[in-house]
Structure 1
Amino acid sequence: MKHVKLRDLDVARIGLGAMGMSHGFSDSGTDDAESIRTVHRAIDLGITLIDTAEIYGPYINEELLGRALKGHRDQVVLATKFGLVSHAGAGPWNLDSDPANIRTAVEGSLKRLGTDHIDLYYQHRVDPGTPVEETAGAVADLITEGKVRHFGLSEAGPDTIRRAHAVQPVTAVQSEYSLWTRGIEDRILPVLRKLNIGLVPFSPLGHGFLTGTVRNEADFKEGDFRRGNPRFTGENFQCNMRIADQVQTIATDADATPAQVAIAWLLAQGDDIAPIPGTKRVHRVEENTAADHLQLTSEQLDRLSSLPPAAGDTHPEAARRMLER
């Protein structure tokens, strides 16, 4: 697989998002053995960047990866995130990037992941209660101690990125970016490229919508975060189905799957981008990584870039308030 640089961090240009193995979907956590096989197959296929977070579960996704990576740790660039669990008492889903909380978080993540260092440590969401300079300084201390190698931000806005970067160079920013979520192109990407910061797009397949396999909103069961998501309900669902159908048409022309086309379009947006499509199944990681060899024509890329934006917000209101896009 081809590699790219996220600032000075070398990674294969397609990574693996591990969240869904344990968290977020109605069938998450139902087959850990298959999830571990998926991690091992990803490594066999050349994937290096594997992404998790302490909030996934919480904690159980890191524990799963810790088991999966025994004997394979030196083959991967391991990324996890802090800041959505307050260890001072408020608990999960509470913003807390205070330096003391980061210190507690990193020790827990290291233990669960079974490693002595984290390659890329992201602030999961910007904490308005803690100046980002303090957060960046705390991660800088962990880098000095060897517990962390690189600093990242997730869903941070331009001002936050600049302020954090002035204290500790930011290696990568993780943000939702795909054919149907393109808001970062005007506000975020120019800042990243000016500062030589890499981009790690999550949900490059639109939470599964762009694969063409999502056909009925009634398919989302209790526990699936897409149930009630604005893009997956009512008229928005029907509008977005038409976008997915157009991706399918181009995929047929390219002799590829819709997922491969969506990933290949992202890869064509720059050599500083490493998307992390999530899956918990071996055959899906095989399908996704095959996008590395898919060369879309300029006409196909133009057709994809001209698709209308998705209908509906990417998150419900409470989650959207945590974003700085």
Structure 2
Amino acid sequence: MEYTQLGKSELKVSQIGFGCMSLGTDLETGRGIIERAIELGINYFDTADLYDKGLNEEILGTILKDKRDKIVLATKVGNQWRADGSGWDWNPRKEYIIKTSEESLRRLKTDYIDLYQLHGGTIDDNIDETIEAFEILKQQGKIRYYGISSIRPNVIREYAQRSQIVSVMMQYSLLDRRPEESCLDFLLQKNISVVTRGSIAQGLLTGKPPKMYLNYDEEEVDTIAKAVRFVGGEKRSQAQTALHYVLQQQAVASAVVGIRTIVQLQDAAGTPSTPLLTKAEINFLREAIKQNYYEQHR
């Protein structure tokens, strides 16, 4: 496994991160796959208070409580479940973030969170109030660093310019190259790392039957999937090729992968040990379908 420094922080995160949303609710199944992930060198585990109404954090905390010094623990805040459980509402207010951080710490069975992330954000939020909440938690030692999880360029710019965020989690893949236009170079200049999600595009880049995805039709999705398979050849799996594409962007520190099985885990974790994409391979993949761009929140 290879490790990358996360922005201006002292955290070194594995290039393949473990996206815990797909972990499930069975403790022992989760324990087996997470312990194997650590054996394979994965140290970055990403969850959120939203997942399974906090149960995901609780299971993760139980599994990792005796391994705390070996891992980088990241969670998210900002989505508040309604009292009747029917859904959630956006709440980036200082009081809510500070209160909810205590609940996450309790469920995660830890005294501190390595990376606390705002789970969304709009340009109409009181951004300074949200930043103040994270700064208070940092001063109190309850979080080490903070970042945001957002695909909105206008929101990303505001936090990059007004706060001490060390990372931005965003969807980025060969089927979603929107960050290449407006975010990656900007964040690199700011020394703010990108953590990617959705980099195998719901499995569409790894062999799942093609379907519409964002602005791409079924035929276009099939075309890029075939290109990924061709480029991988016998050197890499399709997932490894897709992950290399995002990891070879200088701004990207880690690709967080939703992992459900040991087979998926071993495939993803093996990515850094497979050959890098050549410039010719990267260009071939980029030319397979037209690039998409952000149309909103610019």
Q: 1:44 to 1:324 in 2, by over 3 A?
A: farther
Distance in structure 2 (CA, Å) of the matches to 1:75 and 1:294: 24
Give 1:159-198 correspondences, 5 Å limit.
159-198=154-193
- State whether residues 86 and 96 of structure 1, in contact with CA within 8 Å, keep that contact through their aligned partners in structure 2: no
SS in 2 for 1:275: strand
Distance in structure 2 (CA, Å) of the matches to 1:98 and 1:42: 35
Residue type matched to 1:231 in 2?
Y
Q: Is residue 98 of structure 1 aligned with residue 98 of structure 2?
A: no
Q: Is residue 139 of structure 1 aligned with residue 134 of structure 2?
A: yes
Distance in structure 2 (CA, Å) of the matches to 1:164 and 1:264: 28
Q: CA offsets per residue over residues 165-202 of structure 1, 9 Å max, x none?
A: 45431100000001111101111112211211000000
Q: Aligned residue for 2:209?
A: 215
- State whether residues 137 and 168 of structure 1, in contact with CA within 8 Å, keep that contact through their aligned partners in structure 2: no
Give, in angstroms, the shift of residue 298 of structure 1. 2.5
Q: CA offsets per residue over residues 56-93 of structure 1, 9 Å max, x none?
A: 11211111211221211111111100011157999842
- State whether residues 52 and 61 of structure 1, in contact with CA within 8 Å, keep that contact through their aligned partners in structure 2: yes
TM-score if structure 2 supplies the norm length? 0.89
Residue type matched to 2:213 in 1?
R
Structure 1 gaps of 5+ residues are 23-28, 218-229, 315-319
Distance in structure 2 (CA, Å) of the matches to 1:88 and 1:173: 30
Residue type matched to 1:20 in 2?
S
Distance in structure 1 (CA, Å) of the matches to 2:90 and 2:258: 24
Distance in structure 1 (CA, Å) of the matches to 2:74 and 2:44: 7
SS in 2 for 1:243: helix
Task: Determine which of 6, 15, 18 is the counterpart of 2:17.
Answer: 15
Distance in structure 2 (CA, Å) of the matches to 1:238 and 1:49: 35
Q: Aligned residue for 2:61?
A: 66
Residue type matched to 2:218 in 1?
F
Structure 2 gaps of 5+ residues are none
Residue type matched to 1:291 in 2?
T
Give 1:18-29 correspondences, 5 Å limit.
18-22=20-24, 29=25
Give, in angstroms, the shift of residue 299 of structure 1. 2.0
Q: Aligned residue for 1:303?
A: 284
Task: Determine which of 265, 275, 279 is the counterpart of 2:245.
Answer: 265
Distance in structure 2 (CA, Å) of the matches to 1:12 and 1:144: 26
Identity of aligned residues (%): 30
Q: CA offsets per residue over residues 133-170 of structure 1, 9 Å max, x none?
A: 11011000000000011111111534433433454311
Distance in structure 2 (CA, Å) of the matches to 1:167 and 1:310: 30
Q: Is residue 250 of structure 1 aligned with residue 244 of structure 2?
A: no
Distance in structure 2 (CA, Å) of the matches to 1:68 and 1:310: 41
Give 1:17-56 correspondences, 5 Å limit.
17-22=19-24, 29=25, 31-56=26-51
Q: CA offsets per residue over residues 218-277 of structure 1, 9 Å max, x none?
A: xxxxxxxxxxxx5299x933431332122112222x422100111112121126421111
Distance in structure 2 (CA, Å) of the matches to 1:77 and 1:159: 28
- State whether residues 200 and 243 of structure 2, in contact with CA within 8 Å, keep that contact through their aligned partners in structure 1: yes
Distance in structure 2 (CA, Å) of the matches to 1:289 and 1:261: 12
Deviating 4+ runs (over 3 angstroms): 86-92, 127-130, 156-159, 165-168
SS in 2 for 1:122: strand
Distance in structure 2 (CA, Å) of the matches to 1:87 and 1:140: 27
Distance in structure 2 (CA, Å) of the matches to 1:54 and 1:167: 25
Distance in structure 2 (CA, Å) of the matches to 1:160 and 1:33: 39
Distance in structure 2 (CA, Å) of the matches to 1:309 and 1:70: 46
